[in-house]
Amino acid sequence: MNQKSISFRYATCVATLVAVARGYGGPAVAASPVSQTDLAPANGGSTITFPLAGADMEQRLHDLSPRQRAQAIQETEKPIRALSLSCKPMDAERIGSGKSAVDGKGVEIVAYEVACSNGMGYLLASVGMEKPVAVSCFAAAATRADSIAKGGKSDVYCQLAANKDLKAMAASLMTAAGASCTVNDLRWFGLAVATHTEYTEVACGDGNGYLLRAQQNEPAAEVSAVSCQEAAKQGLKCHLTDGGPVTVPVTMQTFRDALKEGGVSCEPTQIRLVGRETLSKRYVVEMQCPDMTDLVAFIPLEGNTNKFETLDCAAAMGRNILCTLKPK
Q: Which domains does the chain have, with CATH numbers?
A: 3-233 (no CATH), 252-317 (3.10.450)
pTM of the full structure? 0.66
Q: Walk along the chain (328 residues) and give the pLDDT tens digit of each residue.
A: 333 333 333 333 444 344 334 444 333 222 233 444 344 443 344 444 322 333 333 455 566 788 888 999 999 999 999 989 999 999 998 887 666 666 777 777 778 899 999 999 998 888 778 888 888 999 888 888 877 888 877 767 899 999 999 999 999 999 999 998 999 999 988 887 667 788 999 999 999 999 999 987 777 788 999 999 888 877 788 889 886 666 667 788 889 989 998 999 888 999 999 988 888 889 999 999 998 889 999 999 877 899 999 999 999 999 989 999 987 7
d(CA 280, CA 300): 8
Q: Strand, helix or coil at 311? A: strand
d(CA 168, CA 119): 10
C-alpha Rg value of the chain to the nearest Å: 25
Return contacts of 238-246, CB within 8 angstroms, 24+ apart.
238/201, 238/209, 238/211, 239/40, 239/44, 239/187, 239/201, 240/185, 240/186, 240/187, 240/201, 240/202, 240/203, 240/209, 241/203, 241/207, 241/208, 241/209, 242/209, 243/209, 246/36
d(CA 14, CA 163): 20
220 to 25, 75, 85, 215, 254: CA distances (angstroms): 22, 20, 9, 9, 33
